Amino acid sequence: MSTKIAKEIICPSCGKSDSIGMFQSIRSDDEELRKRIMDETLFDWNCTHCGFSAEFVYPCLYHDISHYLMVYLVPEKEEKSLKDVKVASQFPQLSELSKRSVTTLQQMKEKILIFESGLDDVAIEVVKAGMKAIAEKKYQKPVEKGLFCFSDPKDQRIGFQFFLKGQEEPLKRAVSMNTYKTALHIVNSCYEPNKDDFIQVDNHLAETILERYQNEEAASSKQESTND
């Protein structure tokens, strides 16, 4: 079951002491909490004295055994605490689960959607990296973030949202499943997944993988030319 603790905090508006419920661990079959992740209200807090509302973000672990997934949300300012989590040695029974670290609720939501769709999040990041480059070239603006939104098995398409700097409305884009399969081939050919500890699977990792793949392809082509 999900684990919840209470913490006393001081309202920044009225200065009175109030209590907030913090979920240290959330199970995927907890429908109410999963819904709060999906609608991005998990960390919303309202002062019982004055009604002041704020987002109170704290470390939180989400686990979905059926999809072999654990997502550990740690705010950026507390990210160093991840170094103290040695899953392989402390919890060997979790060795087969994919363990991901994220810093925002949006990222946690995205990981859940990807794994529930039966997709590989590393390959998804490679797809996003390619689409990000295309969008930045077309609109001459940096993409601040890109998010996976859906998978449509019937139409064989996957959808994304990209947020351009200074633009409030996101770009909505979809690509064929063949694009994803190409990305998955790239990942499988030059990336060895780490299942021991929590890792960040993000744009930085995707760009590293693409650079490695391009270098390997260039070396292979050079070798073929030499042999000819």
146 within domain boundaries: yes
pLDDT for 82: 53
Residue span of the structural domain in which 186 resides = 59-218
Task: Please name which of 99, 119, 108, 97 lies closest in space to residue 184, comparing C-alpha atoms.
Answer: 119
> Rounded to whole angstroms, how far apart are CA atoms 193 and 112?
18
pLDDT digits (tens, 9 = 90+) for 80-105: 555 555 555 555 566 788 999 999 99
Using CB atoms within 10 A of its CB, is residue 19 exposed (0-12), middle (13-18) or buried (19+)? exposed
Quote the number of domains for the chain.
1
How many other C-beta atoms are found inside a 10 Å radius of the C-beta of residue 83? 9
pLDDT digits (tens, 9 = 90+) for 148-161: 999 999 999 999 99
38 within domain boundaries: no
7 within domain boundaries: no
77 within domain boundaries: yes
Q: Are 121 and 108 in contact (CB under 8 A)?
A: no
Nearest 5°: phi and psi at 159?
-115, 155
126 within domain boundaries: yes
143 within domain boundaries: yes
Q: Pinpoint the alpha helices (H) of 120-176.
A: 121-139
Task: Please name which of 64, 56, 69 lies closest in space to residue 26, comparing C-alpha atoms.
Answer: 64
174 within domain boundaries: yes
